[in-house]
C-alpha cells in the first residue's frame, strides 16, 4: 500500500519569534526554518510502516514557497521514496491546503494519509480533518498509536480525559500527536541519496485550486507582557505573599 505524508515548512520551534513593527505579521526574514515537528512524526510513522513491510511506498508532499523543497529533501532523507512540491508564494490557509491535498489523494490513491495534528506557526489543527471531509474518508486525529489490521487501521487517540481507540476503514486520514513516535535523525549518506530521489513540482493551477484566502489577517501583535515578578527567599515568605499580596490562597 501507498502512504502519503504531508509536511510543512515552519519557523524552527526553538526560535523566539518577532512581530513586525507594522503589525502586519510575524517577521520571517533570516529566521531559521525547519520541518514542523508534528510532520516529522508523520514521516517517521510512514517510514516505520514501510520498514515493517506494511507499506510499499511513501510519498511526501508540501505546499509552499520554493524553499519548502528543503523540507521535502529532509523527508526523502528520512526514508520517503519520492516527493511532490506544490509551489505557491501565497499564504495558503488550511482549507486551500486541504483542497490541494484532496486532489493529490485523488491522483495518488494512497491507502493512508498521515499529517501532523497542527503546524506550530498557525496552530490551526484543521488540515487533516478538512482533508478527511473533502475526500469523504474517516479520520483518526491526535494519534498516539497506529496499527494496520487488514482493510482497517486502529488509531489510539489522545483525548481530553485520556485515550480513545477507533477503527477506521481504509483509506483513512491520520493526524499525529507528539507521543506517536520519536523521529530519527537523517544520516549523511541518506541526505546525499535523497538528492537523487524524484521530486516533482506542480502549481495550484495544475489542480485548478484557488489559494486565495477568505480569512484576512488584520493585525499581529505581541501578547501582553507579564510583569517581572519577585524572588522570595523562603516557603514562609511565599505563603505569606500568596495569602496577603496576591490573595489567591
Partner 1 sequence: MRILVLADLHEGQLAGATAHVVAAAQAIGGDIDILVAGEGVQAAAEAAATLDGVSNVRVADNAVYAHQLAEPLSALLVELADDYTHVLASASTTGKNVLPRLAALKEVSQLSDIIAVESADTFKRPIYAGNAIATVKSDDALKVITVRATAFDAVGGSASASVEAVDFTPDNAQSRFVDESLAQSDRPELGGARVVISGGRGMGNGDNFKLLDGIADKLGAAIGASRAAVDAGFVPNDMQVGQTGKIVAPELYMAVGISGAIQHLAGMKDSKVIVAINKDEEAPIFQVADYGLVGDLFEILPELESKL
**Position 236 contacts partner 1 (CB under 8 A):** yes
Q: Which of residues 28-47 bind partner 1 (CB under 8 A)?
A: none
Which residue in 87, 121, 145, 190 binds partner 1 (CB under 8 A)? 121
Question: What is the per-residue binding string for partner 1 in 196-235, x denoting contact by CB under 8 A?
Answer: -----------------xxxxxxxxxxx--xxxxxxxxxx
Comparison of 196 and 236: residue with beta carbon closer to partner 1: 236
**Position 22 contacts partner 1 (CB under 8 A):** no
Which residue in 31, 192, 201, 239 binds partner 1 (CB under 8 A)? 239
Long-range contacts of the stretch 182-190 (C-beta < 8 A, 24+):
182/44, 183/40, 183/41, 183/43, 183/44, 183/78, 184/44, 184/47, 184/78, 186/74, 186/77, 186/78, 187/77, 190/77, 190/78, 190/79
Which residue in 36, 71, 126, 181 binds partner 1 (CB under 8 A)? 126
Comparison of 133 and 199: residue with beta carbon closer to partner 1: 133
- End-to-end CA, the chain: 58
Closest residue by Cα to residue 143 from 126, 170, 166: 166
Comparison of 150 and 189: residue with beta carbon closer to partner 1: 150
Q: Which of residues 77-106 bind partner 1 (CB under 8 A)?
A: 93-95, 98
Residue 67 is given by DSSP the state G
Comparison of 27 and 108: residue with beta carbon closer to partner 1: 27
H/E stretch holding 143: strand 139-149
Comparison of 159 and 205: residue with beta carbon closer to partner 1: 159
**Position 67 contacts partner 1 (CB under 8 A):** no
Half-sphere CA count of 177, side-chain side, radius 13 A: 15
Q: How far is the CB of 77 from partner 1 (least distance, A)?
A: 24
**Position 24 contacts partner 1 (CB under 8 A):** no
Q: Which three cell numbers stand for residue 141?
A: 486525529
Which residue in 158, 184, 191, 199 binds partner 1 (CB under 8 A)? 158
* Cα distance between residue 61 and residue 31, in whole Å: 23
* Cα distance between residue 75 and residue 35, in whole Å: 9
Closest residue by Cα to residue 114 from 40, 165, 197: 40
Which residue in 62, 74, 141, 181 binds partner 1 (CB under 8 A)? 141
Comparison of 70 and 121: residue with beta carbon closer to partner 1: 121
Amino acid at each position: 500500500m501507498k502512504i502519503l505524508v504531508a509536511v510543512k515548512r515552519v519557523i524552527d520551534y526553538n526560535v523566539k519569534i518577532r512581530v513586525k513593527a507594522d503589525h502586519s505579521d510575524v517577521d520571517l526574514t533570516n529566521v531559521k526554518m525547519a520541518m514542523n515537528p508534528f510532520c516529522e512524526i508523520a514521516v517517521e510513522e510512514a517510514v516505520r510502516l514501510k520498514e515493517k513491510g506494511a507499506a510499499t511506498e511513501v510519498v511526501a508532499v508540501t505546499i509552499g514557497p520554493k524553499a519548502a523543497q528543503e523540507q521535502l529533501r529532509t523527508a526523502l532523507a528520512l526514508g520517503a521514496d519520492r516527493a511532490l512540491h506544490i509551489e505557491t508564494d501565497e499564504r495558503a490557509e488550511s482549507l486551500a491546503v486541504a483542497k490541494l491535498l484532496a486532489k493529490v489523494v485523488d491522483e495518488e490513491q494512497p491507502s493512508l494519509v498521515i499529517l501532523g495534528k497542527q503546524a506550530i506557526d498557525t496552530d490551526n489543527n484543521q488540515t487533516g480533518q478538512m482533508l478527511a471531509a473533502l475526500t469523504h474518508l474517516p479520520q483518526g486525529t491526535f494519534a498516539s498509536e497506529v496499527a494496520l489490521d487488514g482493510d482497517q487501521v486502529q488509531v489510539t487517540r489522545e483525548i481530553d480525559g485520556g485515550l480513545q481507540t477507533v477503527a477506521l476503514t481504509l483509506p483513512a486520514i491520520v493526524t499525529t500527536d507528539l507521543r506517536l513516535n520519536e523521529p530519527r535523525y537523517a544520516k549523511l549518506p541518506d541526505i546525499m541519496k535523497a538528492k537523487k530521489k524524484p521530486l516533482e513540482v506542480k502549481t495550484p493551477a495544475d489542480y485548478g485550486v484557488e489559494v486565495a484566502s477568505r480569512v484576512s489577517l488584520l493585525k499581529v501583535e505581541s501578547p501582553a507582557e507579564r510583569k517581572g515578578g519577585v524572588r522570595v527567599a523562603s516557603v514562609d515568605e511565599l505563603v505569606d505573599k500568596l495569602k496577603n499580596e496576591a490573595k489567591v490562597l
